[in-house]
Structure 1
Amino acid sequence: MARVFVSHSANGDPYAASVRDAVEARLAADGHSPLVDRNLIHPGDRWRATLLNWLGTCDAAVILITDKAEDSNWVRAECTILGWRAWLNPSMRIVPVLLNEGASSAVLETLGLTPVAMREIQVLKVDDLTGHDPATVAEAVGDCFEGYRVSLHDKDPMVKWRVRVERHLDDNMFLEDAALRLGIHDDDIKAGESLSTWVADRLLQSEAVPIEQAVDELIMDPRFAQWMGSFAPLISCAWLPAEMADKLFAVAADQSGRRVAWATVARPTTAGRLLRRITCCDTRYTIVGPVSAAGTGSGDHAELVDRYAGAILKAIGAYTEADWPSAYASLQKSKSKPVFVLLGEDALEAGVLTPLVARFQGLVFFCSGPVRDLRPEHAVELTPPLPADREAEGGSVADRIETLRNETDVRAP
C-alpha cells in the first residue's frame, strides 16, 4: 500500500475541508496511509520539517486545488516539489483535483504544474463528475489509486538520493549539531525514523544559509575526508529551487522543438551543480560537457562545434556522426532519460548552439546564461533566477566541499 500525501489549502473553505476529510477516509479504507497535516501534525510539532519529510518520502500524492490555492505559498511549494519527483520517476502517481470553477488549468500553471508536466497525470475536475458531494469526489480519487500497491522506494531517484545522504550522515559524530543548524530537534523525530533521514530532507529542500551552517558542523568530523568524494556532489547544490527542476524537465519533454534552457547564474560551475541536483545525481542521465575552448581562435565557432560534437558522440557511444541516430535510440531504449549538454561560457553564441541543436536533435542544451543572438522563442529561461547572494551562499558551500575533496585526493596514496 502507498503513503499518499494530501496537499490542500482548506482554511476558511468548508467544502474543501469536507473533500479533504472524505479523501483521507477513502484512501485509508483502501489500505493506503494518507499523510494529512491536520491529523498527523500535533501541537508542538515543527510542521515545516514534517511536511518536508513527507514530500521527500511519500509514494503518491493528491493535490486538492481551489481558486485560492495560488495564494498559498505552501501549496505552490508542495506542487513544485511533487512535480519534480514525478519528472524523476514517472511511475509516481499524482492526482490533482480541481474543486471549483475558479480552479482552472491556469491555476495549475501558476502552481508550477505546466501542461507538459501534466501530460501523463490525470486531472480530476469536480464539474465533470456526476455529483459535487465530497463522497463522490473521494470515490473518484480512490479509483485513481486502484491497483497502485508497489512501493517506489527501491527506484525513486529522489528517495535514492536521500538514502545515500543518510548513509553518509549516519556515521558522523556532528550529525546532531548539524540537525540543530537546520532547525531539527529531538521531538521532531517520530518512532522508527532516524535523525539522518530528517537532515537529508532539509539538505534537499532548505535554504542556503542553514545548509552552510550545517555543513560547517559536518566537515569538522575528522573522518569526513574518507567519504568526501561521494558526499560532495550529493549536497553541493542543495539550495536548488524546485521550480528550476520542474522547468528544465518540461523543456526536456517539450515536443515543440525548444530544446535549450538557460539559468541566470554568475559562477561558471553553478550550471553543472544545478544539473546534478536537478537529476538527484541519477546516473541514468547522460551529461556532456562543458568543453574547453582553449586553442580555438576568437570567433572560431566551427572548431568549438566540432569539439562539442565529438564529446556528444563519445558520451552516446557513437563512433561517427553517421552512427548517432542508432546509438541515441539505443541509449533511450536502455535508460529512457534525457541527455543534457552543458555549454560553457565560450559556447554561449548562436553560431555554436544553433548547429549543435540541428545536428543532435532530441538533446537538451543547458546554458549558464542567455545565448547571444539566439531568438527568445528558441530557448527557455529557468525561473526563478537565482539571486546573486543566494548563489554565492550556495556556491561557497560547494566550493568549501570541493576544496576539501581536492585536498583529500592529493593526500590519498
Structure 2
Amino acid sequence: MARRPRLFISHSTPDLAKEIAAELEADYEILLDRTALEAGGDWRSTLNVWIGTCDAAVIMITPESIASPFCQYEWALLSYRHKQYKLPLVPIYHGSVPKEIAGRADQICAISGIGSQDFASKAKIARKVKELLSVENLNEHTDGQIVLLATYLQSGLLNDSTIDVVANDANLHLGAWNLTGTKWSTFALKLMGLGIAGGWQALRKLQPYFVARQEIFNEVFDLIAFCSWLDVSAVEQVKCCAKGNPRGPNPIGLNAKEPRTANCYILRASGLVPSKHWKVATALDAFADYPHLEVSIQEALKEALDVDSPGTERLKARLDARRALNEPIFVILEADGLDPRWIQKLLATPLFNGVSFLVLAADAGKFVGLLEPDAWLKPPLPPKLEDEVWNNYEEAKAILA
C-alpha cells in the first residue's frame, strides 16, 4: 500500500476513542472526528466521505453508541461495505456484549471482535486490533473523485506549505493526521468531508489561488457540493445499474423531486468530474401513452448525445458506440403517470439496450408496484434533505460568485 491504511473509528465515547486512536496512529491514518457532528455540522458528508474511503474500521460498541442515531447510520454504511466489498471491521465491546445488538439488519454482532476482557489497557486493545487486521488483506481504497479533487487543489496551491496556510486561515482542522507523502489527498478528503455547508468558508480562502483557473475552481466547488452528501450504499446501487451488473436492478428509483438530485447520484457513481461524467438524458413529460413515452426518450437521448438527424439510425449508432466502450448513459423519468407495463416495454426495446433508467418520485410510497421494492435506492433520502442540499448550494454559490 502506497500510504498508511485509513482506519475509521465509529464511536460515541470521544475520550475512550481518542485514547485507542492514539495507540494506533503510528500504523494507521486515523479517521476520527466528532466535532462537526456535535456542532450540528454536515455530518452526512463527513460520514459518507470517510466511510466511503476508509480501508478498515473499528466499531466501538458501548451503551452510548447503541443508542446513538449517528452510530446506527455509520454501522449501516460500514455493514454494506463489509458485505459487498469485504471491508475489514473490528467491533470492540465495552460495557456491552454481542447479544445486545443481535437481530439487527447490520449483523455487526456476527463479526469477530474484542470483548471487555481485553480492556486491561488501551495498548492491549490496540495490539488486538492490529492482530485482527493483520490477517486481513487491507486493500488501498482509491476514490477517483478525491484523487481528482487533490489534483485540482495542487494545480492551484502549487506547493505543500500552502495547505497549512489555507487550512489555518479557513479554520480547517486537520487533526492529528500525519500528512507526509499523502498531503494533497488527505487535504482533499478533509475538504470533501466538510460538505458545501461546512466547506464554503474554506473554499472562500482557496478562491484567490484560482484567479487564473476559474474553471478548475468551479469543478472543485461542484465536486464538493454534488458528491459529498450522498449515501455510500445508494451510490453503489447506481453503479450496479449503470454497469449492467446483475446485482443491480434497472430501472432504479429515487425518492426525490428534482432531476439535478438524480444527477448528483449519477455523477458520484461515475467517479468523474461534473463536466465529464456519464451522459444523462431527461424525459419528464406527462406521457399520454407508451408511444409518447418512447418518442420522448428518443428525443432526450438525441439531445444528450448531440444527435441532430431525424429518425433513430444515427441515435442507434451513437448508443452502440457507447455500449462498445462500456460508457453508461442514464435516462431520468418522472414516476407520476408511468405504467409498469411501459417500463417492461422500454427494457425490451432493442434501441434502449444498455440504457439505464432512473425514476424520480417525491413520494415513493404513492408508487408501490411501479418498481420492484429492491429497485428503490436505499437508504431513502430523509425528509427535507433535498431542499436543504440545494438551499446550501445556492447560498454558497452566491457568496462565492
Classify the TM-score, shorter chain.
Answer: 0.5 to 0.7
Tell me how far apart the structure 2 counterparts of residues 308 and 179 of structure 1 sit (CA, whole Å).
44
Alignment of 1:111-126 (within 5 A): 124-125=111-112
With over 3 angstroms needed to count, the CA separation of the structure-2 counterparts of 1:256 and 1:144, relative to structure 1, is: same
2:7–2:57 Cα contact (<8 Å) kept: yes
Alignment of 1:399-410 (within 5 A): none
Q: Which residue of 2 aligns with 1:35?
A: 30
Q: Which residue of 2 aligns with 1:148?
A: 137
Matched residue SS, 1:289: strand
Matched residue SS, 1:237: helix
Shift of 1:66: 5.3
Matched residue SS, 1:163: helix
Normalising by structure 1, we get a TM-score of: 0.59
Cα distance per residue 1:316-340 (max 9 Å; x no partner)? xx9859x97x986x767xx9xxx46
Matched residue SS, 1:269: helix
Q: Which residue of 2 aligns with 1:102?
A: 100
Tell me how far apart the structure 2 counterparts of residues 171 and 348 of structure 1 sit (CA, whole Å).
52
Tell me how far apart the structure 2 counterparts of residues 86 and 164 of structure 1 sit (CA, whole Å).
29
With over 3 angstroms needed to count, the CA separation of the structure-2 counterparts of 1:193 and 1:79, relative to structure 1, is: farther
Paired letter, 2:104 = A
Alignment of 1:18-167 (within 5 A): 32-33=27-28, 35=30, 58-65=54-61, 69-76=65-72, 78-79=74-75, 93-97=87-91, 99=93, 100-104=98-102, 106=104, 108=106, 124-125=111-112, 133-134=117-118, 142=131, 145-146=134-135, 148=137, 152=140, 155-157=142-144, 159-167=146-154
Tell me how far apart the structure 1 counterparts of residues 200 and 50 of structure 2 sit (CA, whole Å).
23
1:342–1:365 Cα contact (<8 Å) kept: yes
Number of aligned residue pairs: give it: 352
2:259–2:332 Cα contact (<8 Å) kept: no
1:5–1:62 Cα contact (<8 Å) kept: yes
Cα distance per residue 1:294-352 (max 9 Å; x no partner)? 9x98652131244467799999xx9859x97x986x767xx9xxx46240559973476
Matched residue SS, 1:5: strand
Matched residue SS, 1:93: coil
Tell me how far apart the structure 2 counterparts of residues 344 and 369 of structure 1 sit (CA, whole Å).
9
Q: Which residue of 2 aligns with 1:365?
A: 357
Q: Relative to structure 2, which stretch is displaced further, 162-171 or 346-355?
A: 346-355
1:301 to 287, 293, 297: 293
Alignment of 1:231-310 (within 5 A): 231=220, 233-241=222-230, 244-250=231-237, 252=240, 255=247, 257=249, 259-265=251-257, 267-281=258-272, 287-291=278-282, 300-307=292-299
2:213 to 215, 224, 243: 224
Tell me how far apart the structure 2 counterparts of residues 389 and 95 of structure 1 sit (CA, whole Å).
32
Tell me how far apart the structure 1 counterparts of residues 137 and 194 of structure 2 sit (CA, whole Å).
31
1:67–1:107 Cα contact (<8 Å) kept: no
Matched residue SS, 1:341: strand
Paired letter, 1:69 = S
1:3 to 2, 5, 12: 5
Cα distance per residue 1:185-232 (max 9 Å; x no partner)? 588675637876565234322243333333344445522325346545
* Residue 380 (structure 1) aligned with residue 367 (structure 2): no
With over 3 angstroms needed to count, the CA separation of the structure-2 counterparts of 1:35 and 1:177, relative to structure 1, is: closer
Tell me how far apart the structure 2 counterparts of residues 143 and 230 of structure 1 sit (CA, whole Å).
40
Tell me how far apart the structure 2 counterparts of residues 342 and 356 of structure 1 sit (CA, whole Å).
11
Q: Which residue of 2 aligns with 1:212?
A: 200
Tell me how far apart the structure 2 counterparts of residues 383 and 72 of structure 1 sit (CA, whole Å).
19
Q: Relative to structure 2, which stretch is displaced further, 171-180 or 203-212?
A: 171-180
Matched residue SS, 1:349: coil
Shift of 1:101: 0.9
Identity %: 14
With over 3 angstroms needed to count, the CA separation of the structure-2 counterparts of 1:383 and 1:202, relative to structure 1, is: same
With over 3 angstroms needed to count, the CA separation of the structure-2 counterparts of 1:212 and 1:6, relative to structure 1, is: closer
With over 3 angstroms needed to count, the CA separation of the structure-2 counterparts of 1:274 and 1:348, relative to structure 1, is: farther
Normalising by structure 2, we get a TM-score of: 0.60
Cα distance per residue 1:157-203 (max 9 Å; x no partner)? 35424423432452499977864685415886756378765652343
Paired letter, 1:33 = Y
Q: Which residue of 2 aligns with 1:356?
A: 346
Tell me how far apart the structure 2 counterparts of residues 66 and 302 of structure 1 sit (CA, whole Å).
54
Unaligned stretches of 5+ in structure 1? 39-47, 114-121, 405-413
Tell me how far apart the structure 2 counterparts of residues 397 and 13 of structure 1 sit (CA, whole Å).
34
